Amino acid sequence: MNELANKTMIVTGAAGGIGEAITIKCLEQGATVIACDLNNKQLKKLEKLKYRFYDNPLFVFPVDVSDHKDVKQFFSIISMKFSKIDGLVNNAGIYLGRDLLDYTPELMDKVINVNIKGSTYFSQLFGELLLHRKDKGSIVNISSVSGQEGSTDAVYGLTKAAIIGLTKSCALNFSPNIRVNAVTPGLVETNMLEDIPEWRINEYREKELLNERLQPEDVANTVAFLLSDAARNFTGSVFDINNGCYM
Ligand code: NAI
């Protein structure tokens, strides 16, 4: 399958569980990938993995999505290096697993800065670049079922609800050139689950209608579809990937 051949995709949080799966899926489908993450060590591991398995290019960049200067510098580098960029996946995110009463203002800022501002900075600069070039493109935002039904970590829940708002607003702002969609995964088997209390995981599992465990690749499949031209009619849409735990 070469659905993304000749396309160039930016993936944020590419060194994490879901980000790595999206990066690999894009490479498998023929895309060039610009992978960024805060974790440079993990990015280097991803780079090595790529050289063993895939022919098309992967570029890795250490970027803090919550740092506007860093993000601007990243876009000024890649806009010189790549004459065409087709897609952006806003995947970088953090989950602290705290009740609202345990949050300090500093921790609230941290989660809001990474989860909301990071995706907003990337969307703005990606939109500006493509609209200036009169190019077409696709943005996929990684929200969460927590943004739909709430989370025991209220700050995480509010940031993921905000991502749905960002998605619909950017779809309005950037039409007709750039399609903007979101996915709302349920529990996906990554390191992030380590911070969710066991009783909460069990509660989710009981609500799931399917006897499947969501893997990062399951999210990557839907994201790759939304990045591809096969999704040309979708914008402002939210795609639930949750085994039916929330409808
Ligand atoms: P993960 O913790 O494995 O990956 C997150 C990645 O984001 C890490 O590589 C981390 O270094 C990177 N990151 C964190 N802060 C950053 C920053 N300031 N700048 C750049 N990169 C940064 O987590 P996972 O599970 O792969 O999560 C990916 C996305 O999926 C997140 O947005 C998360 O909220 C969302 N999600 C995850 C679910 C799950 O059950 N694992 C469910 C629903 C949504």
How does DSSP assign 152-185, residue by residue? SSHHHHHHHHHHHHHHHHHHHHHTTTEEEEEEEE
Instruction: Kindly indicate the confidence band of residue 75, based on its pLDDT and cuts at 50, 70 and 90.
Output: very high
Compute, in angstroms, the gap from residue 181 CA to the centroid of ligand 1: 18
Report the nearest atom of ligand 1 relative to the CA of 185.
43
Nearest CA to ligand 1 atom 44: 144
Active site residue 103: no
> 44-58, pLDDT tens digit by residue?
999 988 777 778 899
> What is the distance between the alpha carbons of residues 247 and 237, in angstroms, rounded to a whole number?
15
Looking at residue 145, its amino acid is: V
CB distance 142 to 188 below 8 Å: no
Q: What is the pLDDT of residue 175?
A: 98
Minimal-distance CA residue to ligand 1 atom 36 = 144
Q: What is the pLDDT of residues 150-166, one digit of tens each?
A: 999 999 999 999 999 99
The proportion of the chain whose per-residue pLDDT surpasses 90, expressed as a percent, equals 91
Regarding pTM above 0.80, the answer is yes
State whether the beta carbon of 78 lies less than 6 angstroms from ligand 1.
Answer: no
| DSSP-assigned states of every residue in the chain | --TTTT-EEEEETTTSHHHHHHHHHHHHTT-EEEEEES-HHHHHHHHHHHHHH--S-EEEEE--TT-HHHHHHHHHHHHHH-S---EEEE---------GGG--HHHHHHHHIIIIIHHHHHHHHHHHHHHHHT--EEEEEE--THHHH--SSHHHHHHHHHHHHHHHHHHHHHTTTEEEEEEEE--BSSGGGGGS-HHHHHHHHHH-SSS--B-HHHHHHHHHHHHSGGGTT--S-EEEESTTS--
| Domain locations along the chain | 8-240
CA of 172 to the centre of ligand 1 (A): 26
Please indicate whether residue 147, judged by its CB atom, sits closer than 6 Å to ligand 1.
Answer: no
Residue 235 neighbours by CB under 8 Å, 6+ apart: 171, 175, 179, 180, 181
CA of 14 to the centre of ligand 1 (A): 8
Question: 93 CA to middle of ligand 1, Å?
Answer: 4
Distance between CA 10 and CA 33 in Å, rounded?
Answer: 6
- Residue 218 in contact with ligand 1 by CB distance below 6 A: no
Give the span between the Cα atoms of 5 and 109, in whole angstroms: 39
Is CATH 3.40.50.720 the right assignment for the domain spanning 8-240? yes
* 86-132 pLDDT tens trace: 999 999 999 999 999 999 999 999 999 999 999 999 999 999 999 99
| Centroid of ligand 1 to alpha carbon of 16 (angstroms) | 6
Ligand 1 atom showing the smallest separation from residue 95 Cα? 34
Closest ligand 1 atom, residue 214 Cα:
40
Which of 188, 219, 243 to mutate for ligand 1's pocket (most ligand atoms within 8 Å of CB)?
A: 188
